[in-house]
Amino acid sequence: MREQKEPKSFSDVVDILSEKIDGVEATLSKRIDEVETSLSKRIDKVEISLSKRINEVETSLSKRIDEVEESLGGAVDVLALQIHGINGRLDGIDGRLDGIDKRLDGHDTRFDLLEEGLDRRFASLHGDMMQVIGMGNDKLLAVVDVLHGKGTVTTPERRTIRLMKPFPRR
């Protein structure tokens, strides 16, 4: 940025104010990028954690099934007696898998809630940014009014500046 000096013309005022607005815009843009990166990393960590947990449960269930198969290596009579027990155990495993499915559905719901929360936060951030930009706009208009009062800025120049975006006023 340039050194602050006494503006000699309307163009100097506009240049100084433009630099300040550009600085605020760059700062806000950088902060948005940081927030987006941070949230993306957090989501990635949650996804990795869930994948690891699913793999652990799958491995555990696979080991249990293997143990059941080994215990059935006995006689046919023993197998006939144990089939009923095995069916019960398999139903339990199905129940556990259903429980896992339900927990995964719960994670989907949590991700949906996380997404909704992020949407609200981004909307709030957008509102905050608009408020900051509006304050900058108010300051610019106040400076223009002071300069108009001192006769530095003519009425048509004042009107032109006041009608500029982002928040035009009459």
Domain that holds residue 73: 10-18+28-162
Residue 87's pLDDT band, with cuts at 50, 70 and 90, is confident
What predicted TM-score, i.e. pTM, was given to this entire model?
Answer: 0.33
pLDDT at position 79 is 60
pLDDT, tens only, 144-161? 999 999 999 999 999 998
Residue 3 lies in a domain: no
Tell me: cis bond preceding 156? Omega within 30 of 0 counts.
Answer: no
Residue 94 main-chain phi, psi, to 5 deg: -60, -40
Name, in order, each residue with C-beta under 8 angstroms of 100's C-beta and a sequence gap of 6 or more: 54, 57
Q: Is residue 118 part of a domain?
A: yes
CA distance 128 to 125: 5
Is 73 part of any domain? yes
In a domain, residue 70? The reply is: yes
Overall number of domains in the chain: 1
CA neighbours within 13 Å on the CB side: how many for 73? 5
